[in-house]
């Protein structure tokens, strides 16, 4: 978390990924990973992280946190990728 606070996203991502490999059920870590990717407008990577985590914990009874996280960031992706309308002056 300190890396994230210090805006060292690259190191934060390494540490969050390591933490998630140690405890794949801790969804706050996945949320931080996905949030870093979204902050850098890496939406496909963020959604891919959710998909990879779903695959790792597919036999767990409660997958709703990952599915919810994926849905939220899917909406963000759509919002960011919307073309902006420019109105030409008359």
- Give the predicted TM-score (pTM) of the model: 0.68
> What is residue 50's predicted lDDT score, i.e. its pLDDT?
86
Q: Give how many domains the chain has, as a whole number.
A: 1
In degrees and rounded to multiples of 5, residue 76 shows phi and psi of -60, -40
Give the pLDDT of the chain (90 residues) as one tens digit per residue: 444 555 678 999 999 999 999 998 888 999 899 889 988 888 889 889 988 988 888 777 666 767 777 777 677 666 655 555 445 554
Answer yes or no: is 16 within a domain. yes
* Segments forming the whole domain that contains residue 56: 2-81
Answer yes or no: is 25 within a domain. yes
Answer yes or no: is 89 within a domain. no
Answer yes or no: is 28 within a domain. yes
Q: Are 50 and 66 in contact (CB under 8 A)?
A: yes
Report d(CA 12, CA 16) in Å as an integer.
Answer: 6
Answer yes or no: is 71 within a domain. yes
Q: What is the CATH number of the domain that holds 57?
A: 1.25.40
């Amino acid at each position: 978390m300190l890396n994230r606070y210090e805006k060292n996203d690259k190191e934060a991502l390494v540490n969050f990924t390591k933490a998630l490999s140690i405890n794949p059920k801790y969804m706050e870590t996945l949320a931080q990973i996905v949030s870093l990717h979204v902050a850098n407008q890496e939406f496909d990577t963020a959604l891919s992280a959710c998909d990879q985590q779903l695959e790792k914990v597919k036999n767990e009874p409660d997958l709703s946190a990952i599915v919810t996280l994926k849905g939220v960031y899917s909406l963000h992706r759509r919002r960011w990728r919307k073309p902006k309308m420019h109105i030409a002056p008359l």
